[in-house]
Amino acid sequence: MNPPRPCSAAWGLLAVLLVVTGAPPLARAANPSPLTLEEVLGSVREQHPQMEAARQGVATAEAELLSAQGGFDTVVKAKGLYVPFSYYPHERLDAVIEQPTPLWGTRLFAGYRLGQGSFPTYYGQYETLSDGEVRAGLEIPLWRNGTIDKRRADITKARLRHEMAGVSLTGERLELQREAAYHYWDWVAAGRQLGIAQAQLALAVTRHEQLARRAAAGDIPQIEHTENERVLLEREADLISARRKLEQAALKLSLYLRDAGGDPFVVPPSRLPGGLPVPDAVLDARLEAQLEQALRQRLELRELALQRELFRVDTELARNQAAPAVDLGVAVARDLGSGPANLRPTELQASLTLDIPLQARGARGQRQAAEAKRAAVEAKSRLARDKIATEVRDTLSALHAAYERVGLARSAADVARRLARGELTRFEQGATSLLLVNLREQAAADAELEELKALVDYHRAVIDLRATTAALEPSPGPEER
């Protein structure tokens, strides 16, 4: 009785394996260098569309700051009046240039006035000499609008919002880098999982010919050869599933890895590194140092501090606006040209303006609202610090647990491989069945996948620790080089 021939699917897959794993040396030499994590992170920082959107937020804040600075723009005002038909025909021109300053709210002004014609006695102040009158002066708020006014408050708040936009940009970059690192390690792990599936199938393909010859010679029962056919089909399905996972991981990674034109780049399998780096020792991460760094650099604490300062400015402004306005004005004026003698002397003016809000309910309400908002931010800050401390402790715990799991998983995978080799030797000696050999090999593959999962968890924990402590530009540690 002739032994059954290997199924056509297995032979076809064998050809695929020879192409994938047995490429000529020259073709391998032409492959590009392996993709590194830093390449992915650099692409995120420079070309990810979400980063561009966050940069536009900063640009918007800069525009708002420029708008607030417009409160100190120089203003020119002019008004002319011509009355040709009247009992008192006359013409008037009045122009003034004003410059608000941030120096205690002082306002500078200079102007020119011309009044010609006939004026009633009660409008005598409009009359000037033939060349007009020049004047200059300043107004100084002594109480309200002195230490702070709306113009200066708006600029201060716009600068704080600009800083907050920068913090948001940094936070966006940090979170995107964390996500990109996750997908990078998933892609590397998917490549390694494909390699495990290829190796498992290669064992079954190589064994199929040997079993066919032994079954034909009567050394083993025909059912052993049939069992191997079952395993071939099963491992072929596993290979297809692993290949699909690698393609899916590459597609997800392409959202973070961009080409020169900014379009998603689906990285080819030829750029897969040799596997996930195995840590020689757990990352040196002392709790006190990591906690101190996190509390010093975490972006949400910085943003809350800026919000607190924002509401402090609102409180200070509202308290100031509830005070009486006492404004001192000083001006000097001189007429030029010919005309009445009483208009020739230089005129010095001093004024004092008093404005007292009796209830000041608007300012008091604004102050109370700002103080309440500031107290809310204080409470949020305390909670944020507690959450950060808990997150740092949890991340360090996950890092050490993942490191321990890597060691155990590597030992378990080594034991499983030795058991599989031993079971195969026993089968060749006729002391066991192929079913047990396949079970041992499957257990070895499962142990390797478990080791792979432990490595992914470890490298994710490293990224989580760097993100938790706001290390925005993570450089690979010795175990990742």
Place of tokens 């009483």: 342
329: three-class secondary structure by DSSP: strand
Tell me the β-bridge partners of 370. none
Round to whole Å and give the CA distance between 92 and 111.
14
Q: N- to C-terminal Cα distance for the chain? A: 57
Round to whole Å and give the CA distance between 184 and 271.
12
Q: Is the pLDDT of residue 354 over 70?
A: yes
Round to whole Å and give the CA distance between 367 and 322.
9
Q: Is the pLDDT of residue 2 over 50?
A: no
The conformational region for residue 252 under phi > 0 = left, psi -120 to 50 = alpha, else beta, is alpha
Number of helices (H), then strands (E), in the chain: 10, 6
Out of 16-20, 96-100, 312-316, least confident range: 16-20
136: three-class secondary structure by DSSP: strand
For helices 222-254 and 434-468, what crossing angle results, to 10°? 20
Q: What's the pLDDT score for residue 227? A: 84
| Cα diameter, the chain | 141
The conformational region for residue 24 under phi > 0 = left, psi -120 to 50 = alpha, else beta, is beta
Q: What's the pLDDT score for residue 284? A: 66
Round to whole Å and give the CA distance between 481 and 475.
10
Q: Is the pLDDT of residue 4 over 50?
A: no
Q: What's the pLDDT score for residue 216? A: 79
Q: Is the pLDDT of residue 63 over 60?
A: yes
Rounded mean pLDDT, 69-76: 94
Range from 12-16, 111-115, 290-294 that averages highest in pLDDT? 111-115
Q: What's the pLDDT score for residue 209? A: 79
What Rg value do the Cα atoms of the chain yield, rounded?
A: 40
**The token pair that represents 468 in the structure block:** 């938790």
Backbone angles phi, psi at 322, to 5 degrees: -80, -10
Condensed to tens digits (0 to 9), the pLDDT of residues 356-411 reads 888 888 888 988 999 999 999 999 999 999 999 999 999 989 989 999 999 999 99
| CA nearest to 39, candidates 181, 173, 174, 170 | 181
Please return the burial class of 16, using the count of CB atoms within 10 Å of its CB with bins 0-12, 13-18 and 19+: middle
Q: Are strands 133-141 and 325-335 parallel, antiparallel or unpaired?
A: antiparallel
Q: Are strands 347-355 and 133-141 parallel, antiparallel or unpaired?
A: unpaired
For helices 287-297 and 361-428, what crossing angle results, to 10°? 140
Q: What's the pLDDT score for residue 434? A: 82
Helix, strand, coil percent content, the chain, rounded in steps of 5:
65, 15, 25
For residue 472, what pLDDT band results from cuts at 50, 70 and 90?
Answer: low
Q: Calculate the CA dihedral of residues 295, 296, 299, 301 and round it to 10 degrees.
A: 60
Q: Are the CB atoms for 334 and 347 separated by under 8 Å?
A: yes
Place of tokens 């501090």: 305
**The token pair that represents 318 in the structure block:** 């509202």
Please state, rounded to an integer, the average pLDDT across all residues of the chain: 86
Round to whole Å and give the CA distance between 64 and 55.
14
Instruction: Tell me the pTM.
Output: 0.78
Q: Are the CB atoms for 128 and 113 separated by under 8 Å?
A: yes
Pick the more confident residue, 213 or 87.
87
Residues in contact with 236: Cβ distance below 8 Å, sequence separation at least 6, in sequence order: 9, 10, 13, 201
Backbone angles phi, psi at 474, to 5 degrees: -65, 125
Q: What's the pLDDT score for residue 17? A: 43
Q: Is the pLDDT of residue 11 over 80?
A: no
Condensed to tens digits (0 to 9), the pLDDT of residues 105-139 reads 999 999 999 999 998 888 888 899 999 999 999 99
Sheet containing strand 133-141, edge to edge, reads 75-83, 90-100, 107-117, 133-141, 325-335, 347-355
Out of 53-67, 91-105, 212-226, least confident range: 212-226
Q: What's the pLDDT score for residue 269? A: 93
CA distances from residue 424 to 226, 238, 428, 436 in whole angstroms, order as listed: 17, 21, 6, 9
Q: What's the pLDDT score for residue 285? A: 66
134: three-class secondary structure by DSSP: strand
Domains and CATH numbers, the chain: 38-65+153-308+376-480 (1.20.1600.10)
Q: What's the pLDDT score for residue 10? A: 43
Indicate the length of the chain as a whole number: 481
Please return the burial class of 122, using the count of CB atoms within 10 Å of its CB with bins 0-12, 13-18 and 19+: exposed
